[in-house]
C-alpha cells in the first residue's frame, strides 16, 4: 500500500499542464495561469482526483493526446480513466482482476491506435489494452520490481525494473534487450541502481529516474549501432538545492526537452529547462505549501558531484508496489 502524501509521479500534457501524482490524489498545475496559485477547483479535494472520487495507492499518472488522464491504482487493481473535464469515464482491469498497476504508457502501433501498456508490480508483467479499452493480453512474465514505463515512436516499450531497463517490441511483445540496459562502467553516477520511471522524448532519447543515485540518466541510441545506447548526460545529484534530488519517483519530458521530475523526498516538482540544448542550467521548482497553494521559484541548478552527494544511506526505504 502507498505511503500517504508521497509524491509518486509526474506527467505533462500538450498544454504543459503538470499532473502531480500523490498516493491518494492527483493535482493539476497550469504554469500559464500565474506564478503562485491555488490548485484549480476541479482538482482541489485533497482526497480525490478530478472530482469527488477517492483513489487508492495512485501511481505515475499519464495523459493521452485527447487529454484523458490515466491513473494506475495499485490497491484497487485498475487504471482509472478520467476525461479532460474531470469525470471518471472508465476503469481498466485484467481478466482475473488481479492486476497491481504502477505505470501506464501509450503505444504507437498503427492498427491499434492509443494502445495502452500497464506495468504490473505484483505479477511481474505488462498488460495491454486497445483503444477501445479491451484487454489484449500480457507479456514479459516474471519481471522483477516493475515500475514506470514509456513507449517511443518505433513502438518500443521501455520498462523500469529492479535490474535496469528492459526493452520490448510493442508490436509483437518480444523482448529485444537484456535486463541490463545502458549501465555505466566504474563511475557510480553512471550506474542504474533502482530505476523508478522512464520517459521518452520526440527524438527517442530515453530518460531514467533513479532512486538510489538521485539522478536522471539520459540515453541516446547510436545511429550506426541499433539497439546500442550511450549516456548523453546525467541530470541532478543528491541534495535539496536547485537541480538536486532526493529519491526521484517519476520523470516526464515535453516537446522542448524540458525534464519534469517528481522529487519525492524533497516533496516538490523540478523542471530542468531545455536540458538537451543548454545543459539544463535553469531550473523551476514547484513547491506546495501547507495551505494548498503552489509556489514557483527559478534558479540555476547546483550539480556538484562529490562523494558526499553521489549516494546517501538516508531515507533508503523504497515505497515498493505503489
| pLDDT per position as a tens digit, 29-51 | 877 765 333 333 333 333 334 44
| pLDDT value of position 97 | 95
| Those residues with Cβ within 8 angstroms of residue 311's Cβ, 6 or more apart along the chain or in another chain | 188, 212, 213, 214, 238
Q: How far is CA 218 from CA 54, 103, 121, in A?
A: 35, 19, 24
Banded pLDDT at 102 (limits 50, 70, 90) = very high
- Domain parsing of the chain, residue ranges: 1-99
Find residue 275's DSSP bridge partners: none
| pLDDT value of position 50 | 46
Average pLDDT of span 109-125: 83
Residues 253 and 259: their CA atoms lie apart, in Å, by 5
Residues 203 and 1: their CA atoms lie apart, in Å, by 36
| pLDDT value of position 113 | 61
| pLDDT value of position 194 | 86
Average pLDDT of span 139-161: 91
Which pTM value belongs to this model?
Answer: 0.87
Average pLDDT of span 147-174: 90
| pLDDT value of position 320 | 43
Residues 314 and 321: their CA atoms lie apart, in Å, by 20
Average pLDDT of span 12-22: 89
Please give the CATH number for the structural domain made up of 1-99: 2.40.10.500
Q: What are phi and psi of 275, to 5 degrees?
A: -65, -35
Is residue 130 over pLDDT 80?
Answer: yes
| Per-chain mean pLDDT for the chain | 80
Higher pLDDT, 56 or 12: 12
| SS3 (DSSP) at 288 | strand
Higher pLDDT, 61 or 290: 61
Amino acid at each position: 500500500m502507498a505511503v500517504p502524501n508521497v509524491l509518486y509521479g509526474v506527467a505533462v500534457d500538450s498544454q504543459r499542464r503538470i499532473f502531480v501524482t500523490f498516493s491518494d490524489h492527483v493535482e493539476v498545475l497550469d504554469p500559464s495561469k500565474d506564478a503562485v496559485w491555488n490548485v484549480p477547483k476541479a482538482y482541489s479535494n485533497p482526497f480525490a482526483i478530478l472530482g469527488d472520487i477517492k483513489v487508492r495507492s495512485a501511481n505515475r499518472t499519464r495523459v493521452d493526446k485527447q487529454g484523458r488522464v490515466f491513473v494506475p491504482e495499485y490497491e484497487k487493481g485498475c487504471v482509472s480513466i478520467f476525461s479532460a473535464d474531470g469525470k471518471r469515464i472508465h476503469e481498466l482491469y485484467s481478466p482475473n482482476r488481479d492486476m497491481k498497476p504502477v505505470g501506464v504508457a501509450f503505444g504507437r502501433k498503427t492498427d491499434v491506435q492509443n494502445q495502452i501498456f500497464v506495468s504490473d508490480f505484483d505479477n511481474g508483467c505488462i498488460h495491454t489494452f486497445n483503444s477501445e479499452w479491451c484487454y489484449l493480453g500480457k507479456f514479459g512474465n516474471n519481471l522483477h520490481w516493475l515500475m514506470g514505463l514509456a513507449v517511443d515512436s518505433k513502438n518500443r516499450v521501455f520498462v523500469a525494473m529492479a535490474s535496469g531497463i528492459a526493452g520490448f517490441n510493442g508490436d509483437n511483445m518480444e523482448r529485444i534487450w537484456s535486463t541490463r540496459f545502458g549501465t555505466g562502467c566504474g563511475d557510480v553516477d553512471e550506474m542504474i541502481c533502482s530505476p523508478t520511471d522512464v520517459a521518452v522524448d520526440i527524438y527517442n532519447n530515453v530518460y531514467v529516474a533513479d532512486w538510489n543515485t538521485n539522478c536522471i540518466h539520459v540515453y541516446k541510441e547510436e545511429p550506426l549501432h541499433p539497439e546500442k545506447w550511450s549516456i548523453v548526460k546525467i541530470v541532478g545529484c543528491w541534495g535539496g538545492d536547485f537541480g538536486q534530488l532526493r529519491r526521484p519517483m517519476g520523470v516526464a519530458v515535453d516537446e522542448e526537452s524540458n525534464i519534469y521530475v517528481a522529487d519525492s523526498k524533497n516533496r516538490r516538482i523540478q523542471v530542468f529547462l531545455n536540458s538537451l540544448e543548454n545543459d539544463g542550467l535553469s531550473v523551476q521548482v514547484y513547491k506546495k505549501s501547507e495551505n494548498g497553494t503552489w509556489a514557483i521559484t527559478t534558479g540555476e541548478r547546483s550539480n556538484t558531484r562529490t562523494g558526499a552527494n553521489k549516494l546517501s544511506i538516508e531515507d533508503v526505504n523504497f515505497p515498493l508496489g505503489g
